[in-house]
């Protein structure tokens, strides 16, 4: 499958992308995961991105497009991919359109995960993330907690609250989403690629997307 997941922070893009990738070996491409790994490694890219991310601001489009062009040229993308957290602005969506044309890749569709704001806010404040940069498993202190000693059940590393998961940064991320990313819904509607999914349970959403791919 070749799809883009659109949706507010906390809409469940990461969880849905992981579950979808288990079905047919399509790779999950999460710009957030790529950026967080770069920050943890202390690479040049990480140093540049860190301050933006901590505030809950977007990282500049030029930097993101460089990362994505490199990522899409890697051979594992040939089987298929699920993009999660990209594109996030109209300029990124336009640049992606050109890039996909250049690489002769066509998308199946863009799945918009539609989740009420209260649900999103509640999820973000209770979310925890594995601190291991190559794992980044997501937990929720209410619905899917880590192990009793607060470690990751997949890799054993400590599970932490992300820097950008303070209340202030969360509210900023939601505002940024409304201002910069929500307009992509209209963009992809015009492109004839948009499909919306009312999404409360990730597993149900995964089923709905898979049905939609077949139909």
Which residues contact ligand ADP (rule: CB under 6 A)?
9-10, 31-32, 35, 52-53, 56-59, 64, 85-88, 92, 164, 173
Active site residue 71: no
> Based on CB atoms, which residue is closest to Zn ion, 137 or 164?
137
Please confirm, yes or no, whether 162 is among the known catalytic residues: yes
Residue 151 carries which DSSP code? Answer: B
137 binds Zn ion (CB under 5 A): yes
H helix or E strand, kind and range, residue 64: helix 61-72
Alpha helices, H only, 143-201? 167-176, 183-190
- Compute the distance between CA of residue 181 and CA of residue 42 in angstroms, rounded to an integer: 28
Whether 123 is a known active-site residue: answer: no
Interface map 153-182 toward Zn ion (x if CB under 5 A): -xx-x-------------------------
Exposed e or buried b for every residue in 173-189, given b needs 16+ CB within 10 A? bbebbeebbeebbebbe
Residue 64 vs 82, nearer CB to ligand ADP: 64
Q: How far is the CB of 47 from ligand ADP (least distance, A)?
A: 14
Return the residue of 135, 138, 160, 193 that touches Zn ion, per CB under 5 A.
135
DSSP H or E stretch at residue 203: helix 202-214
Reduced to 3 states (helix: H, G, I; strand: E, B; else coil), residue 28 is: strand
Cα–Cα distance, 21 to 16 (Å, whole number): 9
Minimum CB distance to Zn ion smaller for 36 or for 88: 36
Q: Which does 80 bind (CB under 5 to 8 A by kind): ligand ADP, Zn ion, none?
A: none
Residue 6 forms beta bridges with which residues? 112
Say how many residues touch Zn ion, by CB under 5 A: 8
Nearest CA among 215, 186, 1 for reference residue 108: 1
Closest to ligand ADP by CB, 34 vs 209, is: 34
Active-site choice (36, 123, 127, 128): 127
Q: Quote the least distance from Cβ 30 to ligand ADP, whole Å.
A: 6
Q: Which tokens go with 78?
A: 């040939």
**Residues with a known catalytic role:** 13, 88, 127, 162, 173
Binding site for Zn ion (CB under 5 A): 130, 132, 135, 137, 152, 154-155, 157
């Amino acid at each position: 499958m070749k799809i883009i997941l659109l949706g507010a922070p906390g809409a469940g893009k990461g969880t849905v992308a992981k579950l979808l990738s288990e079905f047919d070996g399509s790779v999950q491409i999460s710009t957030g995961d790529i950026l967080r790994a770069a920050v943890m490694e202390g690479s040049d890219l990480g140093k540049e991105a860190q301050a933006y991310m901590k505030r809950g601001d977007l990282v500049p489009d030029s930097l993101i497009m460089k990362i994505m062009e490199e990522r899409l040229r890697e051979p594992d993308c040939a089987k298929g991919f699920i993009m999660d957290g990209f594109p996030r602005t109209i300029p990124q969506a336009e640049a992606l359109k050109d890039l996909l044309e250049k690489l002769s890749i066509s998308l199946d569709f863009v799945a918009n995960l539609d989740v009420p704001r209260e649900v999103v806010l509640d999820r973000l404040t209770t979310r925890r993330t594995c601190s291991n940069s190559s794992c980044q498993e997501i937990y929720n202190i209410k619905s899917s907690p880590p192990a009793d000693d607060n470690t990751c059940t997949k890799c054993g590393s400590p599970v932490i609250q992300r820097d950008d998961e303070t209340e202030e940064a969360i509210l900023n991320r939601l505002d940024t989403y409304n201002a910069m990313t929500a307009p992509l819904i209209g963009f992809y509607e015009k492109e004839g690629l948009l499909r919306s999914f009312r999404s409360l349970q990730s597993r149900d959403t995964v089923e709905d997307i898979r049905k939609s791919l077949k139909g």
